[in-house]
């Protein structure tokens, strides 16, 4: 339906007293065959202007040939507009009223008279109130709250029909009559355009009581010409004295009716909050010349990739690439302008005459946006050949098309060096007797780059690039789908900070500000069309009635974003089936823009259904230039690269459109994925799912403080819902990075680091050499990189040395350079040889960073880290099967403990008491221990430490173990959490206990471990309720799990040796963990440990939590760390968290202790004589402390054929039990006010995997029965 359709204009559109009392939205755009307009897929909109790529935000900037204003406002009526040329006066801001369905809206709501909008309000009904625009009414209207579903629709009607109860909102805005310059100037007539950047729902626009138009796509702009519908100021003509002055013009009244659900809802079945209805992006009113204006400019800027150098120096200010521009400009006109000319053009070059005999031409100027001495400006006119530089000129009515081979070289655009140019296009009016006159100007931002797919590689500027990407939804914890431009930019800057180089706009186009920021920051974008039909996967793609809407969304996406260099590929949509509509999309895009690739995940599925990927489908390349599966396993990737792709002659690369589902405590095996990506040809990365947890912020008052928590599906009473399945981001709703972010940053760091060592003279000489690899694709980093190495002995920093690359040495992309460390080599030799190093673990931390350098071009952020254990180099003979001597001596005295036997007695309550050297060990019949002084204190007071020790085979469950909010996952064989509950692992007891005394210093307890399924109730957790339904009301039945043997040995100084052996039943497979849990007093919540923790500290976000697991520890470093007992609040949904690998020692104290190194923070002395010995450091660590000191021994795990050593224990310390965490649905429900701290030591714990949506934990990171697990440690009271 064209914008000038007479059926949409005329006297019949005006409101009158004879109009029906209720608004008929179908009056001007009724659906075919009597359908409602919002239930007719063939109706995509009314009177919308053609799409274009002009930047509306710049069109409303002061000055220039366009003018305009942003009509946004705050909910209090505050002015959210900028001061602009031609600004308008708004009265009171936007108002809003919600109706239960589209049929009950009083016609007065869209009337030209503001007062009449309230006249039809029924008694008790809602009246108009102030509201913010942009916003989503679901965030403020209690009667229509947010709803979340994944695959299922939030209602039960079949497309294209939607529920009769269909919330409909009416927005109104009054603004003063416009100045006359909006309608005409000395340069001629002007046109006014109303621009909606994004409206969720089917919407209808009225201006001054007249119908303007309608639209449906929630994520793309809709524009309407409103020149003749606006009210303007009087022209100021003098009024004769005899006449009464004319009254002031009435204000303009803009009304927008938004219907929440429509047939378009079935094209927008994305996995996010559904029906976040409202005007969620900005609204603009702008004006352009009327007779002729630049409707659109499409500039394809490319570089010649032949003969390019191996790399460009990061500070090189010389353009080095030959550039080419292919330009198509479209000249528009308003609805009142007529063009004279024949309607059969063929190959003629025709300049059509417009009103007044004027013709129009275009001319162009290109300049670099950066102020560089070597950057030239170019001017070219398609009407002049410029010595052959301008080629292929075609003038066809309102179209101008030509190409330009630039006479001088340009800077290429890439993610590493995003150099931008400004292409200024002028529209010049030519009239007889008048000089040429510029009437319109458009400034197009372009970046010169070339994208190709060939020989199983994605090439940017001729080089294969690795996609380190992430999927991003629009989300705000307070605004829902309404996201401020500043927050969009903050997202992209945070991605760049954590070494992402690409973003997929899942699963719809982002706001225009996203692409502008990505151009400037340097991020590749895969731009996805707003098409997802997940719940009707095989159906809508084959519906002819939806074909026009699908193509409309495709063309509007491509045209709007066509000039952004960041966009390297177009995505047809997501999970929308494989039908003729997808073929139509791909064909149109390739015909319009062949400079980018097209991708679609569904191209590698079979024709019907969404089953396993079919990589051998012979027509998949018809839809997709990239093989882009979602959630393939690592083995699947390797099989494709090694066997399938070579066998079928696949020429396309594989880039995962989704992988590593980041739901809750997740992203296990990220490093395993990237190992195979780097090893196998044709694998070029992928996009993690996804960026942000889509929680909605709430604030609770707790213990006199405010606690921020977040709602998700089901928290608003929304049925159906998919619970927390949209809480799956790498960052929290508040943009706080989760631990997986630091893991990815390490994996994707721009400089790879390796260490080479050689020794001679029986260990008397050492040569340590760093091998640095430039992982970038385009830039030579010579002169930019410097760094330091830190030597850690026993976890503490002992020395630090700086290094830099040799001056003049190249460090090209994908190349490796050697950096010798003479200061470190001398330090090691001067320290006295292997004697010092054999006493404790020695680690070398390597930090690489970029220099502070001034450069007018964008400079890459360089930060890289690595750690190397030097034990094998410095003390190859050191025994790693026992506790290091310096730690053993710090906990227990030398000699046989039997030389000073403890006194053993029985207390009045039957408890066993053992005492020696002023310390008392007391064990009750249930196995609980207390360790105290001889003061006789029998409660958990100062000086006594209760050690409630028990088997711990349960963890609170990560979302990958099973989504506890989804009861249907109880029987899902791929999710073990339901099986763990069925075994009663959340309630394990020791049965048939027997106590023996092998000697006077030791006590041995043996027992059977049993689980009690269903005895511990978690009533608010749907997955647990499914278990209770299965068990019924009968008594709990215990499940045998294995045997328990616990040995305590008391030493003369009061310290204890503890050994726990757990022999797990061989029938038990894929368990959460094998470990023990100790309870200690709550005031011992300050911790210091030597273990694996965070190897990074971010300047913005500080030090991360340092949590790491068997399959997510690539970024972990060994060292001494301080933290407090965990409160289980890292993730939106409480779940297992806080684990750390490889515990060497742990100190629990009542308050934070001073650092034992010489400067109070860390010793960076370069003199070996100043290094404290490991024993001295431990003495300083425990000096003056009150608490407990724990030192574990290396693990012993029996494999059935004997005993095999298996590293060091994992551990976590929390103020909550695992069942406390499992019970809670939100963080504000966690009660950390108890007087107990729980210390967990694990012989083994299951990895994380990504099983919430994707491959489960790899076999090598799983825990099975059928073997004996031994945990042994020393524990000593301090103070």
Q: pLDDT tens digit string along 585-631? A: 999 999 999 999 999 999 999 888 888 899 999 999 999 999 999 99
| Catalytic pick among 442, 658, 743, 1077 | 658
* Region for residue 679 given its phi and psi (left: phi exceeds 0; alpha: psi -120 to 50; beta: otherwise): alpha
The residue ranking higher by pLDDT, 1163 or 50, is 50
* Region for residue 1240 given its phi and psi (left: phi exceeds 0; alpha: psi -120 to 50; beta: otherwise): beta
CA distance 133 to 143: 19
Residue of 356, 376, 512, 341 lying closest to 439 (CA atoms): 356
List strands edge to edge, sheet with 1073-1081: 903-906, 912-916, 919-923, 929-933, 944-952, 1073-1081, 1236-1245, 1210-1214
Q: Provide the pLDDT confidence category of residue 354 given band limits of 50, 70 and 90.
A: low
- The burial class, CB within 10 Å (0-12 / 13-18 / 19+), for 1126 is buried
Rounded to 5 degrees, φ, ψ at 634 are -65, -40
Residue of 378, 447, 370, 382 lying closest to 415 (CA atoms): 447
Residue pLDDT, tens place only, 795-845 = 998 889 999 988 878 999 999 999 999 998 888 888 765 556 677 889 999
**Beta strand pairing status for 654-659 and 683-688?**
parallel
> Which tokens is 612 given?
């396993």
Count of positions (residues) in the chain:
1279
Whether residue 83 is predicted with pLDDT greater than 80 in this model: the reply is no
Percent of the chain exceeding pLDDT 90 equals: 63
Half-sphere exposure of 861 (CA within 13 A, CB side): 16
Residue of 713, 791, 751 lying closest to 271 (CA atoms): 713
Q: What is the 3-state secondary structure (H, E, C) of 1203-1227?
A: EEECCCCEEEEECCCHHHHHHCCCH
Q: Are 744 and 667 in contact (CB under 8 A)?
A: yes
What domains does the chain contain, in order, with CATH numbers?
A: 35-237+246-289 (2.60.120.260), 306-446 (2.60.40), 451-693+728-745 (3.20.20.80), 749-874 (2.60.40.10), 889-1150+1186-1278 (2.70.98.10)
> Which tokens is 946 given?
């209760």
CA distance 861 to 767: 30
Residue of 625, 627, 637 lying closest to 601 (CA atoms): 627
Calculate the average pLDDT of the chain: 86
Query: Does residue 658 carry a catalytic annotation?
Result: yes
Q: Are 119 and 27 in contact (CB under 8 A)?
A: no
pTM (2 d.p.): 0.93
| Catalytic pick among 575, 775, 841, 944 | 575
CA distance 503 to 478: 23
The residue ranking higher by pLDDT, 610 or 499, is 499
**Beta strand pairing status for 683-688 and 184-185?**
unpaired
Q: What is the DSSP string of 1143-1156?
A: -SEEEEESSPPPP-
Q: Provide the pLDDT confidence category of residue 1151 given band limits of 50, 70 and 90.
A: confident
Residue pLDDT, tens place only, 265-287 = 999 999 999 999 999 999 999 99
Q: What is the pLDDT of residue 1155?
A: 72
List the single range of 21-25, 685-689, 1218-1222 with lowest mean pLDDT.
21-25
Residue of 989, 998, 988 lying closest to 898 (CA atoms): 998
CA distance 1197 to 1267: 7
CA distance 1238 to 1217: 7
Q: Provide the pLDDT confidence category of residue 876 given band limits of 50, 70 and 90.
A: low
Residue of 590, 728, 711, 598 lying closest to 658 (CA atoms): 728
CA distance 1242 to 1247: 13
* Segment holding 585, helix H or strand E: helix 580-592
Beta bridge partners of 467: 685
């Amino acid at each position: 339906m064209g914008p000038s359709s007479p059926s949409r204009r005329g006297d019949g559109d005006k409101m009158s007293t004879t109009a029906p009392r209720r608004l008929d939205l179908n009056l001007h755009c009724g659906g075919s065959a009597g359908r409602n307009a919002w239930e007719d897929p063939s109706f995509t909109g009314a009177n919308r202007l053609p799409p274009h790529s002009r930047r509306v935000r710049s069109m409303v900037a002061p000055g220039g040939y366009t003018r305009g204003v942003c009509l946004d406002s705050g909910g209090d009526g505050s002015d959210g507009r900028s001061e602009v040329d031609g600004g308008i006066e708004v009265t009171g801001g936007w108002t809003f009223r919600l109706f239960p369905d589209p049929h009950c809206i009083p016609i007065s709501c869209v009337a030209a008279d503001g007062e009449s909008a309230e006249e039809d309000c029924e008694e008790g009904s809602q009246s108009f109130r102030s509201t913010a625009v942009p916003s989503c009414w679901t965030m403020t209207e209690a009667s229509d709250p947010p709803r979340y579903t994944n695959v299922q629709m939030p209602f039960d009607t079949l497309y294209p029909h939607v529920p009769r109860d269909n919330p409909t909102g009416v927005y109104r805005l009054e603004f003063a009559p416009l100045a006359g310059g909006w309608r005409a100037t000395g340069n001629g007539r002007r046109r006014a355009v109303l621009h909606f950047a994004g409206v969720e729902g089917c919407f209808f626009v009225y201006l001054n009581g007249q119908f303007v138009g309608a639209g449906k796509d929630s994520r793309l702009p809709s524009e309407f010409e409103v020149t003749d519908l606006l009210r303007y100021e009087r022209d100021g003509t003098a009024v004769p004295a005899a006449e009464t002055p004319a009254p002031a013009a009435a204000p303009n009244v803009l009304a927008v009716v938004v219907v929440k659900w429509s047939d378009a809802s079935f094209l927008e079945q994305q996995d996010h909050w559904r029906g976040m209805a409202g005007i969620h992006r900005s609204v603009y009113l702008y004006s352009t010349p009327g007779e002729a204006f630049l409707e659109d400019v499409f500039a394809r800027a490319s570089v010649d990739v032949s003969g390019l150098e191996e790399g460009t120096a990061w500070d090189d200010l010389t353009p080095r690439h030959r550039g080419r521009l292919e330009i198509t400009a479209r000249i528009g006109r308003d609805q009142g302008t007529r063009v004279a000319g024949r309607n059969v053009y063929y190959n003629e070059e025709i300049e059509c005459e417009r009103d007044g005999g004027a013709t129009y031409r275009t001319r162009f100027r290109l300049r670099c946006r950066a102020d560089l001495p070597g950057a030239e400006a170019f001017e070219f006119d398609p009407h002049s050949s410029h010595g052959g530089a301008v080629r292929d000129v075609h003038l066809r009515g309102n179209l101008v098309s030509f190409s330009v081979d630039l006479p001088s070289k340009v800077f290429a655009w890439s993610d590493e060096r995003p150099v931008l140019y400004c292409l200024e296009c002028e529209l010049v009016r030519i009239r007889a007797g008048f000089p040429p006159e510029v009437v319109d100007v458009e400034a197009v931002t372009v970046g010169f780059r070339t994208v190709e797919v060939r020989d199983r590689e994605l090439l940017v500027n001729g080089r294969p690039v690795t996609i380190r990407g992430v999927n991003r939804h629009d989300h705000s914890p307070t605004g829902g789908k309404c996201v401020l431009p500043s927050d969009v930019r903050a997202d992209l800057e945070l991605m760049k900070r954590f070494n992402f180089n690409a973003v997929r706009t899942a699963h719809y186009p982002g706001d225009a500000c996203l692409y502008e920021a990505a151009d400037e920051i340097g991020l590749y974008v895969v731009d996805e069309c707003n098409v997802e039909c997940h719940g009707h996967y095989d159906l809508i793609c084959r519906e002819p009635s939806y074909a026009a809407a699908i193509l409309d969304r495709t063309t509007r996406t491509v045209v709007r974003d066509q000039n952004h260099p960041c966009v390297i590929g177009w995505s047809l949509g997501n999970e929308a089936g494989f039908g003729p509509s997808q073929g139509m999309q791909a064909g149109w895009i390739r015909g319009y823009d062949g400079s980018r690739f097209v991708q679609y995940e569904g191209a590698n599925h079979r024709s019907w259904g969404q089953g396993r990927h079919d990589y051998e489908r012979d027509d998949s390349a018809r839809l997709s230039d990239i093989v882009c599966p979602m959630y393939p396993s690592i083995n699947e990737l390797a099989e494709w690269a090694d066997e399938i792709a070579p066998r079928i002659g696949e020429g396309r690369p594989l880039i995962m459109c989704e992988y590593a589902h980041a739901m809750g405590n997740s992203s296990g095996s990220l490093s395993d994925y990237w190992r195979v990506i780097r090893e196998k040809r044709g694998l070029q990365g992928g996009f993690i799912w996804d960026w942000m947890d889509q929680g909605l912020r709430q604030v609770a008052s707790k213990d006199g403080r405010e606690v921020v928590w977040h709602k998700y599906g089901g928290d608003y009473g929304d049925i159906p819902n998919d619970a927390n399945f949209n809480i799956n981001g790498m960052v929290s709703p508040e943009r706080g990075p989760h631990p997986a972010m630091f893991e990815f940053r390490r994996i994707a760091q721009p400089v790879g680091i390796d260490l080479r060592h050689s020794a001679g003279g029986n260990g008397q000489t050492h040569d340590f050499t760093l091998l640095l690899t430039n992982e970038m694709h385009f830039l030579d980093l010579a002169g930019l990189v410097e760094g330091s190495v830190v030597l850690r002995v026993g976890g503490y920093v002992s020395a630090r040395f700086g290094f830099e690359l040799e001056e003049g040495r190249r460090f090209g992309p994908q190349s490796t350079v050697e950096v010798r460390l003479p200061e470190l080599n001398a330090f090691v030799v001067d320290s006295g040889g292997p004697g010092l190093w054999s006493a404790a673990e020695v680690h070398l931390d390597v930090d690489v960073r970029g220099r502070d350098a001034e450069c007018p071009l964008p400079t890459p952020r360089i930060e890289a880290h690595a750690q190397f254990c030097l034990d094998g180099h410095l003390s190859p003979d050191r025994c790693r099967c026992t506790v290091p001597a310096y730690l053993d001596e710090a906990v227990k005295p030398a000699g046989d403990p039997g030389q000073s036997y403890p006194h053993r007695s029985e207390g009045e309550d039957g408890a066993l008491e053992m005492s020696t050297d002023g310390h008392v060990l007391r064990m009750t019949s249930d196995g609980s221990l207390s360790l105290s002084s001889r003061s006789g204190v029998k409660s958990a007071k100062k000086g006594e430490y209760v050690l409630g020790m028990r088997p711990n085979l349960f963890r609170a469950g990560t979302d990958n173990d099973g989504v506890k909010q989804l009861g249907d996952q109880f029987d899902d064989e791929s999710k073990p959490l339901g099986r763990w509950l069925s075994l009663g692992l959340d309630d394990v007891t020791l049965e048939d206990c027997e106590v023996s005394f092998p000697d006077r210093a030791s006590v041995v307890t043996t027992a059977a471990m049993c689980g009690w399924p269903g005895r511990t109730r978690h009533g608010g957790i749907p997955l647990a309720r499914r278990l209770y339904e299965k068990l019924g009301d009968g008594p709990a039945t215990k499940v045998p799990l294995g045997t328990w043997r616990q040995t305590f040995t008391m030493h003369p100084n009061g310290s204890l040796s503890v050994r726990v052996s757990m022999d797990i039943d061989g029938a038990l497979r894929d368990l959460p963990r094998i470990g023990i849990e100790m309870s200690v007093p709550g005031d011992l919540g300050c911790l210091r440990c030597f273990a694996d923790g965070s190897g990074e500290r971010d300047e913005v976000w500080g030090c991360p939590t340092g949590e790491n697991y068997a399959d997510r520890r690539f970024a972990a470093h060994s060292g001494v760390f301080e933290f407090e007992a965990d409160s289980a609040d890292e993730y939106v949904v409480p779940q297992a968290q806080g684990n750390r690998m490889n515990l060497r020692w742990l100190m629990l104290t009542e308050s934070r202790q001073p650092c034992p190194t010489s400067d109070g923070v860390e010793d960076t002395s370069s003199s070996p004589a100043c290094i404290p010995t490991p024993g001295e450091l431990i003495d300083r660590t425990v000096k003056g402390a009150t608490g407990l000191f724990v030192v574990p021994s290396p693990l012993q795990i029996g494999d059935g054929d004997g005993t095999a050593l298996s590293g060091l224990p994992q551990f976590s310390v929390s103020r909550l039990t695992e069942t406390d965490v499992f019970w809670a649905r939100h963080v504000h429900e966690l009660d950390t006010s108890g007087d107990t701290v729980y210390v967990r030591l694990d012989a083994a714990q299951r990895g994380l995997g990504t099983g919430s949506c994707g491959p489960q934990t790899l076999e090598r990171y799983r825990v099975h029965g059928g073997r004996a697990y031994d945990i042994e440690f020393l524990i000593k009271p301090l103070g």
